[in-house]
Amino acid sequence: MATLCFAHSPAPPPSLSSSPSISNFISDHPCLTMLEKQCFTMKDLKKIHAQIIKTGLINDPIAASRVLTFCASPSGDTNYAYLLFTRIPNPNLYSWNTIIRCFSRSSTPQNAVSLFVEMLYSEIQPERLTYPSVFKAYAQMGLGHEGAQLHGRVLKLGLENDEFIRNCLIHMYGNSGLLSEARRLFNGLLEFDVVAWNSMIMGLAKCGEIEDAQNLFDKMPTRTSVTWNSMISGYVRNGKMMEALEHFQRLQQEEEGIEPSEFTMVSLLNACAHMGSLEQGKWIHDYIIRKNDKFELNAIVVTAIIDMYCKCGSIENALQVFGECPRKGLSCWNSIIIGLAMNGLEREAIEFFSELESSSSSLKPDHVSFIGVLTACKHLGKVDEAREYFTLMMDKYEIKPSLKHYTCMVEVLGQANLLEEAEELIKGMPIKADAIIWGSLLSSCRKHGNVEMAKRAAKQIFALDPSDSGGYMLLSNAHAASRRFEEAMEERLLMKASLTEKEPGCSLIEVNGETYEFLAGGRLHPKTQEIYSLLS
């Protein structure tokens, strides 16, 4: 955690809050009134906090807990909250619960668990409002088995039937893939609890049990926006994009007056991006603009819109959305850089990367930004520039290359027929190679007719994933490209003997706002005869 210095406070008068009259005086203190009515940002908080320290008020539990509450809020700063907590001489139960809850909602939920363990050895012991935050932390980490140990403590204390604890337990088990435990708790409900139903649906959808989630959804007497979003995002997560859009249409027709949330919009935009459904994506973008009083165009929503337009091939719309965004987050920059690189505008992608680098804001390229610029270099065949960016990433920005970065470099080198250098790069990586990076090398070997290296790459792929049909196909094609047709046929027979099936190629096309999916050799479309007749 970050370190931050707090000034030493003057010694407080004894038992500052020991009587009701003094407690009322503390609660009505001007500094605490400012904290309640005039504090909206951490900058405001730090000014008020300085005054509270100067007056010695910080030593009072009421005042300290008020400052801690703001720091632990979504508008606050988790590290600042923790440092403040460590300066409280004898934190009370409220302070312990506040800091644990703060970390349970942060990007470091493991700290919530650590603080809970620390609390167990303190003078203040947990009570029923402490446990939900700890279970939420375990849920966020997906550590249901570890959370089950704490569940045992809850059972001993007789708190399992507490509504908040039970709902958090269902969420924890469902989010960790322990559906049998989640179902046991859910089936023990004595009356309808919408939070428990939502948690169960989310868990089922996340674990791929989308049909069970749908059955539960259909049985719900009352649904909320969380319920609808869980189903829509669940269908998207399970690759059922059409069903996700159909659920949104159902939501539009509902008489319950439920408005979709920002999360729903992001899920739908992701579905449109996956299917290449530009018209649907435009409609959702327009819907967000029409409902601007309900949706905040934050970085997450804007990034999803840009990503949708890029993946649907409408780069003009993506650039317009990016240009009109008043506060561009790093995710927006990354999305437009990658989108330009994938749509044949590689030079523009590199220009945007340079603009990000020279930006006067506090933003600086991250690991995703470098994947975008390396992809652009790959498509342009700029080997030297790719090497420079790869070095820049490590030296200037201190970013350790991931497998994706190494894969980009292998593709750049492979495309330029620098196959030996690409193979040496893989062998010298400080991280273990996967089937994808060896597949990239194998693809380049096929392109340039290097059969011997293709065999070595294929051997590595089969060792990592014997069921990988792509390895057999690429090696077979490499033999065929070198006119070694017998060896090519042998690879096909080996693939057949190992019962490895090649997934059929798939394409999507949007006509009059409706998306159609075609599989290679497929004949399921109702107008198959007319299509093949036209092709003939």
Matching residue, tokens 């059929």:
504
Question: Do 522 and 494 lie in a common domain?
Answer: no
Pairwise CA distance, residues 211 & 240, whole Å: 11
Question: Do 459 and 477 lie in a common domain?
Answer: yes
Asked if residue 454 is part of any domain, the answer here is: yes
pTM, two decimal places: 0.71
Pairwise CA distance, residues 10 & 253, whole Å: 63
Question: What total of structural domains would you count in the chain?
Answer: 2
> In this structure, what DSSP letter does residue 10 have?
P
Helices (H), 188-224: 194-206, 210-219
- Domain CATH number, residue 432: 1.25.40
Tokens (6 digits) for 176: 């960790």
Q: Which residue segment(s) compose the domain that 525 sits in? A: 505-536
Asked if residue 487 is part of any domain, the answer here is: yes
> In this structure, what DSSP letter does residue 28 have?
T
CB 414 within 8 A of CB 422: yes
Asked if residue 12 is part of any domain, the answer here is: no
Question: Do 496 and 527 lie in a common domain?
Answer: no
Asked if residue 39 is part of any domain, the answer here is: no
Pairwise CA distance, residues 272 & 313, whole Å: 12
Tokens (6 digits) for 522: 């497929």
pLDDT in tens, 394-408: 999 999 999 999 999
Asked if residue 436 is part of any domain, the answer here is: yes
**What is the DSSP secondary-structure string of 289-332?**
HHTTTT----HHHHHHHHHHHHHTT-HHHHHHHHHH-SS--HHH
Asked if residue 400 is part of any domain, the answer here is: no
Asked if residue 27 is part of any domain, the answer here is: no
Pairwise CA distance, residues 150 & 176, whole Å: 15
Q: What pLDDT score was predicted for residue 327?
A: 79
Q: What pLDDT score was predicted for residue 399?
A: 94
Phi, psi (5° rounding) for residue 518? -125, 135
Question: Do 437 and 495 lie in a common domain?
Answer: yes
CB 414 within 8 A of CB 380: no
pLDDT in tens, 215-251: 999 999 888 888 998 999 899 888 888 888 888 888 8
Q: What pLDDT score was predicted for residue 76?
A: 80
Asked if residue 103 is part of any domain, the answer here is: no
Stretches where the chain sits below pLDDT 50 are: 1-25, 485, 488, 491-497, 499-500
Alpha-carbon distances of 372 from 275, 314, 335, rounded to whole Å: 22, 18, 8
Cβ-based neighbours of 129, under 8 Å, separated by 6 or more: 97, 164
Tokens (6 digits) for 264: 């729903």
